[in-house]
Amino acid sequence: MGDETEKKITYLLQQLTLREKINMIHGGGLFRTGEVERLLLPPLKMSDGPMGVRHEFENASWTPACDTDDYVSYCPSNSSLAMTWNRTLCEKAGTVLGEEARGRGKDVILAPGINIKRVPVCGRNFEYFSEDPYLISELCVPFIKGVEQADVAACVKHFALNNQEYERRWVNIEVSKRALYEIYLPGFFAAVNKAHVRSVMGAYNLYEGEHCCQNQTLLDGIVRKEWKYDGMIVSDWGGVHDTVKAAQSALDVEMSVKANFDEYFMANPLYDAVQDGQVDEAEIDKKIRNILRLMLRVRLIDVEFNENGQGTVVVNKDRKAGSFNTAKHREIILDAARESVVLLKNDSNRLPLVLERTKKLLVIGDNAMKVHAAGGGSAEIKALYEISPLLGLKCLLGGNCEITFARGYEVPKKEKDGQNWQENSLNDGKERKDGASGSKVCARAEKLRSEALELAAQFDDVIFIGGLNHEEDLEGRDRENMSLPYGQDELIRQLLSVNPNMVVVMIAGSPVDMTSWEPLAKAVLFMGYAGMECGTALAQTIFGIVNPSGKLAETFPKTLSDCGALNLSDFPGRALDEQEKKRMNAHLTQTYGDGIFVGYRYYEKYHVPVQYCFGHGLSYTTFEYGNFCGEWVKNENGGRTFTACIDIKNTGQYAGAQVVQFYLGEECPKAENAVKELKGFEKVFLEPGVEKKVKVCLEEAAFARYDEEKGSFEAEEGAYILYAGSSLNDIHGNIHFSF
């Protein structure tokens, strides 16, 4: 590409009038930019989202097109995908999303969401990967590459510091430079620098007093100048607030939720601002260059020159056609779902249940019956199908097992107002969801509960399938706390008292407080919104056809108040003082006082006991770790790499996979540093009795911290410990060495 591409861009730019350019840099539909018919330049067609390609809307209204031709494969949410800790699977999952997007005729798929999970109650956590920047980077890079193989653009979102839904458009974030660079930016940097992602979406919130979608520091300073990014930057829908600021920032395209496209900040008002001399046309040209570059990169357009040097735009030449709803896609989705299941607890080997011996089974809980694809906000999709857990169990067990279902608790029905929430999403704000909403038990709920309790006493095999749903894991709203809704805690406690062998399954997009009943349960499985084959994967895991290998990609604290954001910071924000009110267009502000101490970095440092630690996840088999040793070796760049190996053996009876995790810490951790941090991992599949060597290579960059004075990453000399284990807390070997 290179020079040839830039020549084509320059040529097209010269042909465009100011009006035409303006047309290209803002929404001309809810999910497309304006086209330039005169030059045969098509619009850029975009679609959400991270769990599959969203259904079609009318161009200028949020009315679903209501077609039967936009059903798609329902992919695992990023939080599910992250629990696989499997880079190859992430690439495959990306390929599915990319091919489906292309198959549906899209140019940009608005995914993946890679924000840091700073608080366990953020409504959109299910769309994000992890609390750890290294894990996010390692998984999002193959995912993006997978997507973009299909001749579409991925769009990493939401840049940056978009870590809560509460007042998401009006909360200003202040954070130390160090935490910004070490925690909140690495995922985006990896997306830009390693995956060469073709587009980035700005965030709704403000950073240092300016909305992210028109923020010079973030977009111009960091993304364009420091990272030398030449892809397209698009606003979140309604994320722009000022014509001149947006025009003068590195934002390329303004999108919004309203149908008054000509009135967008970067539409007629910008045309006028250029005419008035407030904005230089050169600013617009920069945006056009980035948009055209993306169009060329995804092969939406090409320019063919004749002998006189005159160019003609050709559309979709040699471009992959994509495909959706293929058997291959479903196979990958099932693989990912299987690897995403986390076995949290399995006392006395309660699991797996034995298929041949199970003649009667009681399944309790609304999530056994529930399908989730159509919820969550912009991540909603119209799934070709979705196997619920109960369906998965029935498909697996067949006609010789009598399965009884008892709902156990009730999810109150929502009144539908006929409107799409997104139409009003710019009015959103202060609402927060009370996670314990179900504590008021009505008569019907009481009946469901006693019915379940009565049955539970009569069955040997009982599975409870509860957790959250997209009333809780939802865009635009955070949960108030981590409690299970709909009175589930009490119900599970009572059920376990009548049937202590009951297996508990939690399906949720974020951590839930299990402390009141978890000690009573023998077996607990956790699973996210894992896509159309969720029920199949779960049933296969319960019955041992699949050996669980998922690992938590975030800590499960005991309660929300244990979290660093609440103890070291003023989550969800404080009122603006008079000075701040003058300085920024915000409702509240928040200083991330927790700095780098996000997730496990906080719990470990401050000795806060947790329910389940980062990286936790059991297996039906057992593993033994052997010798762990390492040394410095010279690398080809003239630097050195600390290379270490550990042996791991499957000592149990099932074939299974273990994620060997490598953490680095200082021998005597300094007050300002984390005790240890994830620096490597490898998922190894082992037949019983088989041993493998797992290697980790730490480049010098692994020892670097962001030096605020120098404004750069600097490697720190000192005495270090490299840990190897099956989770943050389950360490099986360590090496003491110096850097």
Task: State the nearest-atom distance from the C-beta of 428 to ligand BGC, in Å.
Answer: 9
By C-beta, is 79 or 346 nearer to ligand BGC?
A: 79
Q: Which is nearer to ligand BGC, 77 or 425 (by Cβ)?
A: 425
Per rule CB under 6 A, count of chain residues that contact ligand BGC: 8
Residue in the block written with tokens 């010079």: 216
Q: Which is nearer to ligand BGC, 49 or 550 (CB)?
A: 49
Q: Calculate the alpha carbon distances from 709 to 200, 564, 674, 705 in Å.
A: 28, 25, 20, 12
For ligand BGC, the closer CB: 528 or 564:
528
Q: How far is the CB of 236 from ligand BGC (least distance, A)?
A: 5
Catalytic, 428? Answer: no
Quote the distance between the C-alpha of residue 121 and its chain's center.
Answer: 14
473 is an interface residue for ligand BGC by CB under 6 A: no
- Our CB check for ligand BGC shows the closer of 445 and 474 to be 474
Catalytic site residue from 70, 132, 151, 236: 236
CA distances from 227 to 135, 165, 231, 233, 239 (A): 20, 28, 11, 13, 22
Query: In angstroms, what is the minimal distance from the CB of 256 to ligand BGC?
Result: 9
| Site pattern 49..88 for ligand BGC (x: CB under 6 A) | x---------------------------------------
* 125 contributes a contact to ligand BGC by CB under 6 A: no
The distance of closest approach from Cβ of residue 196 to ligand BGC in the complex, given in angstroms and rounded to an integer, is 21
What are the two backbone dihedrals, phi and then psi, of residue 486, each rounded to the nearest 5 degrees? 65, 30
Contact flag: residue 163 with ligand BGC (CB under 6 A) = no
Shortest Cβ 71–ligand BGC spacing (Å)? 19
Residue 637 CB-density burial (10 A; 0-12 exposed, 13-18 middle, 19+ buried) = exposed
Alpha carbons within 13 angstroms on the beta-carbon side of residue 361 total 26
Task: Map residue 475 onto helix, strand or coil.
Answer: coil
* Minimum CB distance to ligand BGC smaller for 126 or for 409: 126
- Complete DSSP assignment for 683-731: EEEE-TT-EEEEEEEE-GGGGEEEETTTTEEEE--SEEEEEEESSSS-E
Closest CB 460 distance from ligand BGC, rounded Å: 46
Residues 394-413 that bind ligand BGC (CB under 6 A): none
Alpha carbons within 13 A on the beta-carbon side of 226: 16
378 binds ligand BGC (CB under 6 A): yes
CB-nearer residue toward ligand BGC: 477 or 558:
477
Residue nearest to ligand BGC (CB): 378
How far apart are the C-alpha atoms of 447 and 667, rounded to whole Å?
58
Distance separating alpha carbons of residues 378 and 387, to the nearest angstrom: 21
Of 131, 208, 236, 562, the one binding ligand BGC (CB under 6 A) is 236
Query: What pairs with residue 736 in β-bridges?
Result: 721
Q: Which is nearer to ligand BGC, 110 or 698 (CB)?
A: 110
Instruction: Please select the residue that binds ligand BGC; options are 48, 254, 461, 682, rule is CB under 6 A.
Output: 48
Interface residue with ligand BGC among 106, 157, 329, 382 (CB under 6 A) is 157
Question: How many CB atoms neighbour CB 244 within 10 A?
Answer: 15
Q: Please, what is the minimum distance in Å from the beta carbon of residue 425 to ligand BGC?
A: 5
Please state the closest distance from residue 114 (CB atom) to ligand BGC, in A: 11
Q: In terms of C-beta distances under 8 Å and separation of at least 24 residues, what long-range contacts does 312-320 make, across chains too?
A: 312/40, 313/12, 313/39, 313/40, 313/41, 314/40, 315/40, 315/42, 319/102, 319/151, 320/99, 320/102, 320/150, 320/151
What number of other Cβ atoms are within 10 A of residue 420's Cβ? Answer: 16
Strand partners, 665: 721
* Measured distance CA(186)–CA(137) in Å, rounded: 7
Interface pattern 538-577 for ligand BGC (x via CB under 6 A)? ----------------------------------------
- Applying CB under 6 A, does 110 fall inside the site for ligand BGC? yes
Report CA-CA distances (Å) from 654 to 544, 624, 686.
9, 14, 9
Catalytic residue numbers, as ranges = 236
Positions touching ligand BGC (CB under 6 A) are 48-49, 110, 157, 236-237, 378, 425
